[in-house]
Amino acid sequence: MSDNRSIQVTLKTVLHISRWLKTICAPAAVILVCFFPDMLSGAETSKRFLTLEQCIGMALDNASSLKKAEQAYMLQGTDLLRSYGRFLPKVSVTTAYTPLSVARTYTDPENETISRTQTERIDFSLTTSLNLFNGFRNYAALRSSMKLREASGLSVEQARQTIAYDITQSYYQVLLDTQLLTIARENLSSSKDQLKLTSRQYEIGLKPVTDFYQQQSETANNELSVIQSENNLRGSRLELLRKLRLDPDMDIVVRDIPEQTLSALPEEVDRDSLVALGKQQRRDLQSSRLLLEAKRWEVTGARSARYPSVDLAFSLSTLAYPYFEVSEHGIATTLNYPSVSEQLTDLPSYSLGLTLNWSLFDGFITRYNIEQAKAGYIEQGLDTADLEHDIAIDIQLAADNYLAAFNQIETAEKGLKAAEKAYETVKKKYDLGAASFVEANAVKASLVRARSEYTQATYNLALQKNILDFATGTLPVE
């Protein structure tokens, strides 16, 4: 008895202290809210709210694949400039200064008379050459570089569309997981309320103990569903952060898509028109076609080795001796040349000539290069045809899935309304004892499933529209 009294005294003391703390802390909380709102709203301000457009913009700024495509585009521009340069003359300038040059020669070999010459010399030469004809190799290289440049630019646009498509998919997945988590939490809250009601009804004898235990089990299962939904949402958020190249510890909240975005979508699409549009708009297909043309010009360039090459060459050279000394029989004689500037002006030499080079046999190297270029052209043609066929299939599948998404929404909406009415009817009967727990639990599970299916159908329509736009090459990228 003494132990029970001590426990009761202790409980009364704890309750008294808790009431006293509430009395003291309530005004303090009001003061904090009024004068230091940032201290209490720190958790909210640490969250970052993002829209779909912001996510796409951040991904375009941080994506390494887009940066690589842009670098390749810049490099291809330099290669195009090099192709233009092949039509221009090559110019080289050479300047040499020799401060000391000593040469010994026999002036009279029979008497072994040696002449010694010591000079200081300046040389200057200008050489230029221009190719007049090389079997259209330069022209073929220029046309190939132009096609590769255009293909590289289209690859950049395709990379931007791919990033926007990928981010949109991940963004909608976060929204879907958020809605499913909300549904799971609401279901758990309803189960907890039902558990309290069932507990009271069991205590007064309105419900059997089996209903109480079954409701406990159902509440535990709903708690498990919440944990799984939270984990799914956490995973989809991390996946979005990974694609955005953001800190994984950042707490982001994605904003829902406006309702008018889905309501404005067309309910009917023409597959044939979409296929034709895709073949015209798809950047990767356009790039593949340009690569095919570039490969064709590479074949022409390889064949140019069978023709002669004609070059026009011009050279200009001059020299000057700031110092010139000749020594013979021990007697040194210094020659007084004009000034260096006068020598460079008075002693120029030049030449102009044509050079023809024709390789008659090179060990079948030209033949191999031609066949290799043909093989690349054929392979690129096959890849282009396969890509065009795959695009047509992808567009038809995307169109079918898009049309089916509308039907899924209509069916899911009807199922949701029926599930809500069934749940309301059976719930009233169960509260009055006219329905069993199995019936009540079945209609509740049907309601949760109907809400989940309707939510998934709604976001599935947005996802399918995104897939259809990407398949046809009309996905907008800001």
Average pLDDT estimate for 433-449: 79
Domains and CATH numbers, the chain: 52-88+135-308+361-472 (1.20.1600.10), 91-133+310-357 (no CATH)
Poorest-pLDDT segment among 88-92, 99-103, 189-193, 385-389:
189-193
The pLDDT tens digits for 18-64 are 443 344 343 433 333 333 444 434 444 468 899 999 999 999 999 99
pLDDT in tens, 180-201: 999 899 888 888 888 887 788 7
pLDDT value of position 43: 42
Count other C-beta atoms under 10 Å from residue 196's C-beta. 11
* Residue 92 pLDDT exceeds 60: yes
pLDDT above 90 covers what percent of the chain?
59
CA angle 389, 394, 397 (to 5 degrees): 130
pLDDT of residue 318: 96
**Residue percentage of the chain with pLDDT more than 70:** 90
pLDDT in tens, 116-165: 899 999 999 999 999 999 999 999 999 999 999 999 999 999 999 999 99
Average pLDDT for the chain = 86
Q: What is the mean pLDDT of residues 389-412?
A: 93
pLDDT at 214 over 90: no
pLDDT at 328: 82
HEC profile of the chain: CHHHHHHHHHHHHHHHHHHHHHHHHHHHHHHHHHHCHHHHCHHHHCCEEECHHHHHHHHHHHCHHHHHHHHHHHHHHHHHHHHHHCCCCEEEEEEEEEEEEEEEEEEECCCCEEEEEEEEEEEEEEEEEEEEECCCHHHHHHHHHHHHHHHHHHHHHHHHHHHHHHHHHHHHHHHHHHHHHHHHHHHHHHHHHHHHHHHHHHHCCCCCHHHHHHHHHHHHHHHHHHHHHHHHHHHHHHHHHHHHCCCCCCCEEECCCCHHHHHCCCCCCCHHHHHHHHHHHCHHHHHHHHHHHHHHHHHHHHHHHHCCEEEEEEEEEEEEEEEEEEEECCEEEECCCCCHHHHHHHCCEEEEEEEEECCCCCCCHHHHHHHHHHHHHHHHHHHHHHHHHHHHHHHHHHHHHHHHHHHHHHHHHHHHHHHHHHHHHHHHHHHHCCCCHHHHHHHHHHHHHHHHHHHHHHHHHHHHHHHHHHHHCCCCCC
Residue 314 banded pLDDT, cuts 50, 70, 90: very high
Given a cut of 70, is residue 12 above it in pLDDT?
no
* Per-residue pLDDT reduced to its tens digit, 232-287: 999 999 999 999 999 988 888 888 887 777 777 888 889 999 999 999 999 999 99
- The answer to whether the pTM exceeds 0.85 is no
